[in-house]
Amino acid sequence: MKTINFYFTLNPDLSWNPYTITNAGLGGNYVAIWNLSQALAKRGHSVTVYSYIHREDVYKGVAFKHINRIPHDNPNPDLLISCESRMPSGIVPRGTKVNWIHRNVGDGLDFDNFDYHVFASEFHKQYLEAKEGEIIPNGVDLELFKSNPRKLENDITFVGHPIKGMQYIPGILSKIREKIPSVVVHIYGNAEIWGWRNDSFIPLQSMLIKNKILYHGRTSQTDVARFMAQSKIFLYPSTFQEPFGIAVLEAMACGCVPVASSVGNIPDLIKGCGFSVRGLPTDFGWNTQAAEKVVELLLDREMFKEYSEKCIVRAKAYSWDIIAELWENKFLT
């Protein structure tokens, strides 16, 4: 058994606790830390997450503690996984110091104080122009995200916020409804905490209502997984250069076929089991091409079934148990 500490100091104004992920949802960084820490604990290691924890607790074998505990605990782990955070003062791990890069901004790179950097994809590493570093993908909780054989007809899901393309959904939907008037779109996201507050969010919200789009707001992973399992298409008109694409992978695990823009790691992630429409939703003709692919999938049952099954198979290769084993073999042997 090895001792492993996670250290995460981004978003100090957004405290979380061991139940926040499943009950409220927080986004990719938190989901990744939440799942990898549990998967490593499941493999017999002693794991602690130090962050801005609102309520300390032990959940599924992982101790979640506030970062102010560090001086008192004086931990000396075999492996320290710092999530784009500065090294804790006074900590000198016996073993390996890893900087786990989640975002696509270069200020997370700090080669002087770490033994390794870990990137989520080859695209991620190249985008940050990093000459060294390991590539270990993110994963998906296959116990939570799984397909429902009774999928709703003409049902489409989007998970994200405005920088992930929420505002482009109505334009695509209007073209889809020219062929399939009964199509239903569900949006799960947290636009209100991404700079789209008050007056700036009202026009978008009004546009969603006008187009009869069901906006569910910031929703728990448990609920997203349950409803996504009934959906057929994951529509993702993102303009964000995705380092990996956890939301897309979760949709694939639910048997949702992704129709997405060709940004970041998305084309590689969905290659052969989804459709990456070349370009961005801001490009002329993009909405039409995306709508045509959605319509084709919804009308051709055999085509949808084939791609849905391929999505599920692809997602199984990214289970957090497999990802934890990659971490273990690289840094704990």
Q: What is the pLDDT of residues 186-206, one digit of tens each?
A: 888 765 444 445 555 666 666
pLDDT value, residue 27: 72
Q: Are residues 165 and 310 in the same domain?
A: yes
More confident residue, 75 or 274: 274
Is there a domain that residue 145 lies in? no
Range of the domain at 75: 3-139+319-331
> What mean pLDDT do residues 164-177 have?
88
* Residues ≥6 apart with Cβ < 8 Å to 83: 6, 7, 8, 10, 29, 33, 100, 102
229-279: pLDDT as tens digits: 999 999 999 999 999 999 999 999 999 999 999 999 999 999 999 999 999
What percent of the chain clears pLDDT 90, i.e. is strictly above it?
Answer: 57
Angstrom distance (rounded) from CA 1 to CA 4 = 10
pLDDT tens for residues 1-16? Answer: 899 999 998 877 667 7
Q: How far is CA 80 from the centre of its chain?
A: 22
pLDDT at residue 222, as a whole number? 84
3-class SS at 311?
helix
CA torsion sign for 148, 149, 150, 153 is positive
CA torsion, ordered 118, 120, 125, 128, to nearest 10 deg: -100
User: What mean pLDDT value characterizes the chain?
Assistant: 87
Question: Which region among 114-123, 172-181, 186-195, 305-314 has the lowest average model confidence (pLDDT)?
Answer: 186-195
Question: Residue 150: inside a domain, yes or no?
Answer: no
Asked whether residue 216 falls in the same domain as residue 293, the answer is: yes
286-300 per-position pLDDT tens digit: 999 999 999 999 999
Q: Exposed, middle or buried, 172 (CB in 10 Å: 0-12/13-18/19+)?
A: buried
CB atoms within 10 A of CB 97: 19
Residue 272 within a domain: yes
pLDDT at residue number 5: 95
CB 184 within 8 A of CB 155: yes
316 or 27, higher pLDDT: 316
Q: Flag whether pLDDT at 173 surpasses 80.
A: yes
Q: What is the CATH number of the domain that holds 219?
A: 3.40.50.2000
The whole-number pLDDT of residue 189 equals 73
Total domain count, the chain: 2
Q: Is residue 74 part of a domain?
A: yes
Q: In 3D, which of 214, 230, 231 has the Cα closest to residue 173?
A: 214
103 contacts 88 by C-beta, under 8 angstroms: no
Distances (CA, A) of 230 to 90, 154, 255, 256, 310: 49, 10, 9, 8, 17
Based on the domain organization, do 191 and 311 belong to the same domain? yes
Give this prediction's pTM: 0.91
